[in-house]
Structure 1
Amino acid sequence: MNKRINKTKWVFALVWLIATSYAYAQTSEQRNDFAIKGFHLDLRIQVMKMPALKEFALRLSKNGINTLVMEWEGTYPFEKHAVIANKYAYSRAEVKSFITYCDSLKIDVIPLQQSFGHVEYILKNYRYKALREDQKDYSQVNPMKEALCKALFTDLYTDLISTHKSKYFHIGGDETYLLGKSPESKRKADSLGMGRLYGDYIKMLCELVVSLGKKPVVWADIALKYPDALKSLPKETIFIDWNYGWELDRFGDHEKLMKSGFEIWGSPALRSSPDNYFLTDWEKHFNNMKVFIPQGRALGYKGMIMTSWSTSGIYSPIAESHSDIMDLHAIRRVYPLSGFNLLVDAFFKALSSKQAIAPADFVANYAADKYGLSASEAKQFWNALKLAPYEVNQGKVSKQGFTVKQLRDSARYVLNAFRSFKVNKGQKEYAHYVLMANIRYNYLVCMEVESELNRQGFDKKQAGTLLKQLLELNVSEVNAEFARLNSHFLYDMEIAEEGRLRNFRYLDLLARLQKINNTP
């Protein structure tokens, strides 16, 4: 009898232990999961049509994303500051409809209003001339003009809050390159330090957000650089530690941020430097997700927001005269988000799995499932995607030992490989890879021609040969394919503008060589 009782007790104890362990594991998983699973949309350039925007939100919702950070920039129709809105601005009805739609999908839409740096689109308008930190570089407000800035951003914040329902409000605050540039800012920085110059202004913005009933969200890079700026901020402040594939201490002592007591979210990227129209570093973005998302989970970050930058946020002025800037053009433009479904789905996978994503395996499975590629083709596809993602600057390749000609040959190999695979499904999505490879190949031919034109011993008699190389490129075909693949995504005017800027070097070289070739 005693043996039977002891056996029964042992069985109950074992069951209790298993159940407790399972419950602990579940609770532990929940503790280590992200409450905020988000995506950031950058509308500074490449403004998505509203149907495409809603279609993307639906896709996010179906894949577990509960937060969307909207960097509306000039696409938001401010009422008191109508001059800020650009030619692609949505109507207020469209914005409200989009927020309502996201609400029905249980997606929280957080407005992002840059309020320190990256405000060229505001400061280029001379109505705001007095707020500029520098009268030639319009990228940043002067933190010493606190009263003027507070009045402006009170208006902008209040307007955005009137159309958004989120309890969070993102004020930006990253990459304040001009800190201490103006005489008054320099005096404060020299007297009290850069941390106080930055921190006092950010404190004012965060307190403004809190006074409006919201929680302020701030990019963490400058706070990492000047940790004394953290001391006086409202306890409600949330920092986003953006990391695109580097050590945690890149911007400063990461441990100080961790010990600050503020809630922290993480942020990788699927489009960032050195990406542009002619280069996408696919492997870098996969490795960024592979490393940083598990790292953020282990650090106890409460959220993970994927960024997707259409531009670096640095602009080149188009000037009417030495003192009057007509417009600003983004100096780095990236292929539209429409071509990056592979990386978007990889983010979904990385968020939903407790194991680090395995890039090669993910790409192989994706290529098989989405495009019907064979196992060997899927492997070749991944190898082609990550082949030689090097830049060309002033005629030199960023990878030592590589020539422009070798880089051009690698691009031609990739283009031919993408064209050779037997794609049985998802042809329209797959066509973006072919197009991107074609754009890169055409660009590298131009760079090779330009390099030869710059050669010290260049002979005008060679102009005809170089001209022939350019004329053999399928630029018109590429432009038509770009329009076909992105007509649902971008406005017609945008497609035309993207083509003009993407082909600027080609058209310039063409005209110059035609002139040289036809001149006796």
Structure 2
Amino acid sequence: MKCPPWPKGKKLVHLDLKGAPPRVEYLNRLIELFSQLGVDGLLVEYEDMFPYEGELKLLQATAQPAYSREEVLSVQELARSKGMEVIPLVQTFGHMEFVLKHRPMWPLRELSHCVGTLNPHKEDGVKLVMEMLRQVVELHPDLNTLHIGADEVYMLGEGEESKLWLGSPGCTVEQLFLSHVTKVAKAIKEAWPHMTIIMWDDMMRSMSQDTLKASGLVGLVQPMLWDYTPDLDVDKTVSLLEKYCSAGMSDLWAASSFKGSTSVYTCVTGTQRHVENHLQWLNVAASLSAGVNLKGIAITGWQRYDHLSVLCELLPVALPSLAACLQTLLHGQFSAETQSKVTDRLGISSVEVEAMGRTSSGDLLFPGRRLAELIVELNSLLDSEDIRFFENNMFVRGWFSPYQRQRRTVTPLITMQIHSQASTYLAMLQQKAEAVREQMVHVYPDSTAQEWIEEHVSPVMAPLQRITEEIGACVKEMVP
């Protein structure tokens, strides 16, 4: 079905740097590609990769160095030269795991065991986020727009101070949320009167129009409504955007997804799922009343669900999905013509990374293509039932069970065959993993390659290694 193309407004690509932060050389190649794909701006979530200074220096990553001040400036300069705006995203309420995990910051948690939520009653909390914002703004010359996060503020109202506060008449968790965000937004406007402020919308979805009108946020912030599902409910989303508009928040944003929203540990991006999400967003945009001023859409690419979760798909495997989603927005549909624009632009035979085909022409059109190919190949091996469920195969369960291993009563002939098969699988995995690592360190820090292999490859290899070692020990006792 064809919709009108995405209406006026910016198409932002979200760069989530809280996991697998690309080397700056690779970021520069991505920016070149993004400009060819029609991207208008970058929504950059630095987290611990920002070069915080002074008392905030402890927020910098330790697994790999944070980007230097010069690198942050050079990336902006290249983006600006391509006509792209850079909008930093700095969390100021929820998802502050990268801040509140540090011992000196523990007293600022809403609840001791909830690492992500800031205590809204402590003045030091507002001072902290304002200092974070001040350092980010200072390193972004001519900045006009800031995203202050504020999504998924888990356990809000559960802390002791909040419970006391909620005991007063008329005090609700909704008011508690709104008062903190309003305080932060007002402080930003005081420091930088020209600044446009965007925030995630999810904490406001169940609030009434009257609550929003009375919140003090009207005229201060522009909500960004996010939904990453392929079966996004169009009517519900339209009515939500209309509600925000009726409450006085007529400047609104959408947020879709090109990766990082399928499951928390996905390795390979499926393009069709993300295209369907964008087709639904096109339906939403086409159904809005004239009063809603859609400022644009942020196409998110989460690298982790939160600071302490595992890595989602890496950027190179998601580039076909991103290109397909952008073309879908530009054309209002995902036709054969739209698909061929993607395949021609990236030099691939299919928009699905698993079927994109091997080429020897290098990856000039597709930065990180070889890494994407190798990850697809390795992922296919890791998912094969013969390898993943090796311990459950008939021979292992029948002739090398835990009982037999413990008593060293095994049939040498069959166990040696098991050993041979396990060794073959191990060698295949080791070879592919080494090839992935070799390519990955060109694009990412060594720590990312290490983490990816330990998360995805090591758990599959461990049972095979254990079996080969145990068979060696058993056979030694039974064969002269």
Same structural fold, with TM-score higher than 0.5 when normalized by the shorter chain: yes
User: Which residue is 2:78 aligned to?
Assistant: 101
Structure 1 residues 442 and 90: CA distance shift in structure 2, 3 A: same
Contact map agreement 2:371 2:439 (CA 8 A) in 1? yes
Query: Percentage identity across aligned positions?
Result: 20
Work out whether 1:480 is the aligned partner of 2:434. yes
State whether structure 2 residue 269 is matched by structure 1 residue 280.
yes
In structure 2, distance between residues paired with 1:118 and 1:447: 39
Q: How far apart are 1:256 and its partner, in Å?
A: 2.1
2:375 counterpart residue number: 436
CA deviations 1:399-453 (Å, max 9, x no partner) are: xxxxxxxxxxxxxxx7xx77xx574756685545543332332332479745855
Q: Distance in 2 between matches of 1:140 and 1:154?
A: 16
For 2:40 and 2:341, how far apart are their aligned partners in 1?
A: 26
Higher mean C-alpha deviation, range 496-505 or range 171-180: 496-505
Please tell me the residue identity of whatever aligns with 1:488: H
Superposed CA deviations along residues 34-75 of structure 1, whole A, max 9, x for unmatched, are 322211100001111112212222322333322211101001
1:437-476 equivalence runs, <5 A: 437-445=376-384, 449-450=388-389, 458=397, 461-462=400-401, 464=415, 468-469=421-422, 471-473=424-426, 474-476=428-430
1:171 Cα deviation from its structure 2 partner: 0.7
Range with bigger deviation, 74-83 or 97-106: 97-106
Structure 1 residue 194: Cα displacement: 1.8
Q: TM-score, normalised by structure 2?
A: 0.80
In the alignment, residue 75 of structure 1 is paired with which amino acid? M
CA contact 1:225–1:253 (8 Å) conserved in 2: no
**By how many angstroms is 1:480 displaced?**
2.9
How far apart are residue 281 of structure 1 and its match? 3.3
Structure 1 residue 225 corresponds to structure 2 residue 206:
yes
Is 1:303 aligned with 2:281? no
Deviations 1:160-202 (A, max 9, x none): 1111122111110111122222122234446522211211111
Cα distance between partner residues in 2 of 1:454 and 1:273: 33
| In structure 2, distance between residues paired with 1:426 and 1:287 | 30
Q: Identify the residue that residue 411 of structure 2 maps to in structure 1.
A: none
Matches of 2:228 and 2:37, distance apart in 1: 22
1:407 aligned partner: none
Say how many residue pairs are matched.
432
Q: Residue 139 of structure 1 aligns to a residue in which SS?
A: strand
2:391 touches 2:463 (CA, 8 Å); kept in 1? no
- Change in Cα spacing, 1:424 to 1:499, as seen in structure 2 (3 Å) is closer
Closer, same or farther: CA 226–439 of 1 in aligned 2, 3 Å: farther
Match of residue 113, structure 2, among 136, 144, 148: 136
Is 1:193 the counterpart of 2:172 in the alignment? Answer: yes
What RMSD, in angstroms, separates the aligned Cα atoms of the two structures? 3.2
Decide whether aligned partners of structure 1 residues 298 and 469 sit closer, same or farther in structure 2, where only a CA change above 3 A counts: farther
Q: Distance in 2 between matches of 1:100 and 1:372?
A: 30
Equivalent pair of 2:146/2:198 in contact (CA under 8 Å): yes
Q: Of residues 84, 91, 96 in structure 1, which corresponds to 2:59?
A: 84
SS at match of 1:138: strand
Match of 1:504 in 2: 458
**CA offset at residue 159 of structure 1?**
0.9
Letter in 2 for 1:67: G
The equivalent residue for 1:47 is: 21
Q: Which residue does 2:125 correspond to in 1? A: 149
Q: Tell me by how many angstroms 1:459 deviates.
A: 5.4
Change (3 A) 1:167 1:475: same
Equivalent residue number for residue 266 of structure 1: 254
Kindly tell me: are residues 335 and 449 of structure 1, through their superposed partners in 2, closer, same or farther at Cα, counting changes over 3 Å?
Answer: closer
Which structure ranks higher in relative contact order (CA pairs < 8 Å, sequence separation ≥ 6)? 2
Query: Per the alignment, in what secondary structure is the counterpart of residue 172 of structure 1?
Result: coil
Q: CA deviation at 1:343?
A: 1.7
Asked whether the equivalents of residues 117 and 175 of structure 1 are also in contact (C-alpha less than 8 Å), the reply is yes
Give CA deviations for 1:432-487 in whole Å, capped at 9, x if unaligned.
554333233233247974585599x9556158577635741522222233234434
The 3-state SS of whatever aligns with 1:288 is helix
Distance change >3 Å, CA 479–CA 171, structure 1 → 2: same
Whole-Å separation in 1 of the counterparts to 2:423 and 2:247: 57
Is the CA contact 1:278–1:443 (under 8 Å) kept in the aligned structure 2?
Answer: no
Indicate the SS of the match to 2:115.
coil
Pick which of 491-500 and 193-202 moved more: 491-500
C-alpha contact (below 8 Å) 1:350/1:357 kept by paired residues = yes
**Contact 1:195 1:229 (C-alpha < 8 Å) held by counterparts:** no
Q: If the length of structure 1 is used for normalisation, what is the TM-score? A: 0.74
Are 1:54 and 1:98, in contact at CA under 8 Å, matched by a contact in 2?
yes
Equivalent in 346, 362, 367 of residue 324 of structure 2: 346
- Segments ≥4 residues shifted beyond 6 Å: none
Counterpart of 2:207 in structure 1: which amino acid? Answer: Y
Any stretches of 5+ residues in structure 2 without a counterpart? Answer: 403-414, 475-480
Does residue 219 of structure 2 align to residue 242 of structure 1? Answer: no
Paired position in structure 1 for 2:138? 162
* Correspondence 1:71 to 2:52: no
CA contact (8 A) 1:270 1:343 kept: yes
SS at match of 1:41: strand
SS of the residue 2:20 aligns to: coil
Q: Report the Cα distance in structure 2 between the residues aligned to 1:96 and 1:313, rounded to whole angstroms.
A: 26
SS in 2 for 1:133: strand
Structure 2 residue identity aligned to 1:212 = A
Asked whether the equivalents of residues 52 and 489 of structure 1 are also in contact (C-alpha less than 8 Å), the reply is: yes
Deviation, structure 1 residue 351? 3.4
- 1:472 match: secondary structure: helix
Q: The residue matched to 1:235 in structure 2 has which SS?
A: coil
Indicate if the aligned counterparts of 1:123 and 1:131 stay in contact, CA closer than 8 A.
yes
What is the deviation of 1:158?
1.0
Q: Which range moved further: 154-163 or 297-306?
A: 297-306
- Cα distance change on mapping 1:515 and 1:479 into 2, 3 Å: closer
Task: Give unpaired runs (5+ residues) of structure 1.
Answer: 1-28, 316-329, 386-413
Structure-1 separation of matches of 2:386 and 2:96: 33
Matches within 5 A, 1:110-125: 110-125=87-102
